[in-house]
Each structure stands twice: as C-alpha cells, then as structure tokens.
Structure 1
C-alpha cells in the first residue's frame, strides 16, 4: 500500500542545486544568450540610426557619405604610400587618373555634340605627364606645345576627311575646347609631378592635398550644419558662405600644422601656404560645377561611389597643384634658413 504523500500532486519539486555542474552550465549559457541578444539589438539600432543619418545626408547633398569615406580612405592610402615609398608609382597613378579624367570630360562633351577626338587627348596625357616627371622643365613646356599642336592637326585632318558640313565657327570651337581639356587636366596635374621632382617635394604635395581635403571636408561639414546663405546658387546650389568660412578655418589650421611638422617652415608660413589653396580649391570646384551645369549633367561619371567621377574629385586639386608649386618656390627657402 502506497502512502498518500507519495502521489500528492501539490508536492513541490525540490529546487535545483546551483552547485551542480549542469545547473551552472545552463545558467552561464542563458547569460551568454541574453548578452548576445542584447548586443545584436544594439547593433541593429546603431545600424538603423546610421542608415537614417546617411539617408538624410543623401537627401540634402545627393552623396552617399559612407561610400565616399570608403573610397577616400582607399585612394588616400594609395597616394600616401606611393609618394613616400615609390615616387614612380605616384607618377603612374597620376598618369592613369589624368587619363580617366580626360576620358570623362571628352565623352561628356561628345554627348553634347562637340567633335573632341579621344586618341590625341590620351596621347597628350602621356606626353605631358611623362615629361613633367621624367624630363627637364624645358621638355615639359615643349611637351605641352607638341600635345596641343597634335590635337589641332588631328582635328583639322579629321574634319577634312569627314566633310560633315560643320561651319568654321564650330570647327574652331572644337579645336579650342580640345586644347582646353589638355591644359585643364594633364597640364594642371603635371604641376604636382614637377613639384615631386624637387627635394622633399613629396611632403609639399602631401601638405597641399591635406589643405585641399581639409577645405573640402570642412566646407561640407560646416555647410551641412550651418549653411544658410548660398554662394553661387546658379552654378552650385549646395555651396554656402558658411561652408566656405568653415572650410577656410579648417584648412588654415591644417596648413599651419603641416608647415610646422611636415615642411620645416614656421607655422605662420604654413598658414600663408594654405590661404591661396583655399581660394584655388573653391574656384576649381565652382569651375567644374559650371562646366557640368553647361553640359546638363550632375556628375562626370559614376565610377567612384559617393563621389561621382574622377574629375568630380580632381576639381579642387587640379588648380591647387599649380598654386602649391608656386608657393613652394616662395616658401621653401624659409625651411633652409
């Protein structure tokens, strides 16, 4: 006969002893699962916030900020590495980048009905960039004139062979625009390679790139946060005077630091070095925006995520390379004194 207490449904099961190994393992696993779920929830919330912020920035600026940062980091690493360790690699990079820029603007102009010949344009890139880095300055200028003459002769011969009925004014305009491309892209870019040939030139290139990037980034961030007054709404609606002021302040600070720690010149000379670069970067940016507006396009291409085309990233750098070369001639003696 069984006792009544043995089958009592109300009897409580004894509590599991936490000192038992299997109980401790289950408790640890439960804590780990909870911690993992909490971490995943935090990551999901952070991702949603980042995506929402990026969406707001894209709505206002038309750029994917995080894609732009990724491309910028990769490009910056390639440029810095080649400048500091293998200068000839930087020259090859400059040659390739200038060639892509010329290809972009040539295709854009051709789409608008201009007769621009791609082959002589690319030949001009090779001639001008190569002469700037591997030959004497006199050869560099000779290469420019030879490249322009080649472009002119090619267009005249092509026009005579084509006989498409274009009037002389249009032919002359095609020639002028073709020569402008070679001056605007490879010749301005070649100024950086002329600077690179000088002793310590790689540091001056890094300094001017730092100042220009600081001006662009500072203007972007300041304009995004405080921009109210449009600088040139008919040319570039997104640019504001507040953004320009913020970019100028950031770039002057960057120039002073670069002068003191990179170029071996006084901090105030570094600020002087940066001041004209701020203006050249702004004018280059507005100049390319004016070209794109005249062509009826937003970007030269879509090759660089978050940036647009190659020329969309070179717009402020190209004219600044000439200014940097001039400022080097002016300020470099201060480093030797």
Structure 2
C-alpha cells in the first residue's frame, strides 16, 4: 500500500512509489518521484486487461499471474545474488512455478507438497553447487533466504489461484484486486492532502498515519460495496475483508521496503515504466491474496 506521497500500484488508478531504499528526487517534478504519465498509462493498461481477463476468460488469469510470479522471483533472486546472497535461481524459479500452478489441479495439498519439495531441492542444490570437494559458504544464510523468497512470492501468490477456483472465483479475485486499489488510492489521496505524521520513518519515510486512515476508509467502503454487489454476501464480510487487506497490504509494502533498504536499491527491477519491477507491484498484492482467500473461504 503506498503512502501519502506515493502513487498506487499496477492495478490502481495511479502508480505506487515512495518506498525506495534511499529517497530519490523526482525527475519529472512529481512528488511520487517517478514518471507519473508513464506510470498512469501502464497502470490503466494492466488494470483494464486484468479486469477483462477475469470477466471473460478467468482461467487465463492463472497464466498471467504465474508469469508475473516467475518474473518477480527472478528479479528478487538477481538482486540477492548482486548482494552476494547465493540463492539457487533455477530450482527457486522452476519450483516456484510448481508451487503456484499445482494449486489448480490439486488445491492446497498440491501447493503444500510443491513448496516442501522445492525447499528441499533448493537446500540440496545450495549444498553442492560448488562441487563435492568444496564446502559451501554461508549455507545457512543463503538457504534460509531462499526458503523465505519461496514463501514470500510463489506461496503467497498461490492463494490467488485457490481463490479463483472457489465458486464465483473470478468475482472473488476481482473483489480482492479492487480492494487493494481502494487501499492504494485512499492512502495516496489522504497522505497527499493530510499526511503529517510518519508511520515508520526508519523503513518508509513517506508513509503517514493519515494515509493509512485514508486507506482504511476507502478499503472498508470498497469492501462493503464489492462483497454486497459482486458476491451477494453479508456486508459485514466486506468490512472484515477491507480492514484485513489494509493491514496486510501495508505490512507487505513495508517488508519489501526494508528488504530493498538492506540491499541498497530503489526498485527490484525496471520492467514497468514509471513503476519499477514486477515485484514492486506485487508487494502488497501477495499477502492480500492470502487474506482474501482466508476471509472469503471462511465467511462465505
């Protein structure tokens, strides 16, 4: 979730920014610190494309999301290796795809099995990636970060697949995406207009409590409307979902901000003009997918 001086994420009306490792000047004069016209164009294009896919060919969403997961995993692995954290990229990316895709035919058991198997393969790969005669350096650190990355990206993303497979799954995924947009836009508007009290300045200096309150207001209203109108369910489910998504979207954004701060980088990648990398757009979406699956599967 962006703060008051950052624009919303890929699916939102404006693009998120404002959680770089080090504050950067805005090259185009934007307070967001990014190329706002490019960010708007990319955000609108991706958002409308995803809505069309979910409404007309929902299963294609799995392929699109799976591709995004693969690219995001590669971005993070590349950045980690640049920092001399030798995560095993091949089993991490291939196994991550298995974690994500096996939720389609086998549900949660497929996801769990693929996750455990991939974690084991990554441990063995890192143990012997320098040959049988050379002991690996920083084995514990590298394997721990590898398993963390596997859980952070493919595992959390797999809940979007599980959500899609529920009754009216395309509408449930659309609901979750709309609420993340509501959280982003609410935080942006309230933070720009009223943001004066930093939330966690040591991690993300531009995030404000006023922005968080704006996210909460927009997301709860969005939850009430989407759960009632799209899912035909009790409006209180929308309140629970809205509050939950604001919290985890904010935490997800802060987690990536801290990781980038430790790595000394601004963005995980450069694939999306005005946005950064794919992972920079998924930071708040990933935990939100899990919470959406949990709340909607339990309460509806």
Q: Secondary structure in 2 aligned to 1:135?
A: helix
Identify which of 46, 50, 57 aligns with 1:86: 57
Shift of 1:173: 0.5
1:122 matched to 2:90? The reply is: no
Query: Which runs of 5 or more structure 2 residues have no equivalent in the other structure?
Result: 1-25
Question: In structure 2, which of residues 216, 223, 242 is the aligned counterpart of residue 248 of structure 1?
Answer: 216
CA distance in 2, matches of 1:217, 1:70: 16
CA deviations on 1:92-115 (whole Å, 9 max, x unpaired) are 111100001001110110111111
Ranked by relative contact order (alpha carbons within 8 Å, sequence separation 6 or more), the top structure is 2
Change (3 A) 1:292 1:54: closer
Shift of 1:88: 2.6
Task: Report if aligned partners of 1:227, 1:241 keep a CA contact under 8 Å in 2.
Answer: yes
Q: Does 1:262 align with 2:262?
A: no
2:141 and 2:127 map into 1 onto residues whose CA distance is 12
User: Counterpart in 2 of 1:73?
Assistant: 44
2:284 is matched with 316
TM-score under structure 1 normalisation? 0.78
Aligned to 1:191: 159
In 2, distance between residues paired with 1:291 and 1:262? 36
Cα deviation 1:102-149 (Å, max 9, x = unaligned): 011101101111111211111112211110113233222111111111
The answer to whether the 8 Å contact 2:103/2:162 transfers is: yes
Task: Using the TM superposition, give the Cα deviation of residue 154 of structure 1 relative to its aligned residue in structure 2, in angstroms.
Answer: 1.0
2:18 is matched with which residue?
none
Q: 2: CA distance between counterparts of 1:305 and 1:247? A: 25
User: 1:295 aligned to 223, 239, 263, which one?
Assistant: 263
Over aligned residue pairs, what C-alpha RMSD do you find?
1.7
Trace 1:15-94 onto structure 2 (pairs within 5 A). 55-56=28-29, 58=30, 60-94=31-65
Is 1:155 equivalent to 2:126 in the alignment? Answer: yes
Q: Distance in 2 between matches of 1:76 and 1:199?
A: 23
Is residue 109 of structure 1 aligned with residue 80 of structure 2? yes
TM-score when scaled to structure 2? 0.87
Comparing both structures, which one devotes a greater share of its residues to helix? 1
Aligned equivalents of 1:145, 1:293: Cα separation in 2: 29
Change (3 A) 1:230 1:263: same
CA distance in 1, matches of 2:136, 2:150: 23
Question: Contact 1:61/1:238 (CA < 8 Å) preserved in 2?
Answer: no
Q: Are the counterparts in 2 of residues 288 and 315 from structure 1 also a CA contact under 8 Å? A: yes
Residue 202 in structure 1 maps to residue 170 in structure 2: yes
- Contact conserved, 1:54 with 1:66, CA < 8 A, in 2? no
Give yes or no for the alignment of 1:176 onto 2:144. Answer: yes
Deviation at 1:308, TM superposition (A): 1.0
Cα distance in 2 for partners of 1:203, 1:195 equals: 9
Deviation of 1:227 (Å): 1.1
Distance 1:103 1:212, change over 3 A: same
Partner of 1:277: 245
| Distance in 2 separating the partners of 1:122 and 1:312 | 17
Q: Within the alignment, does 1:221 sit opposite 2:189 as a pair?
A: yes
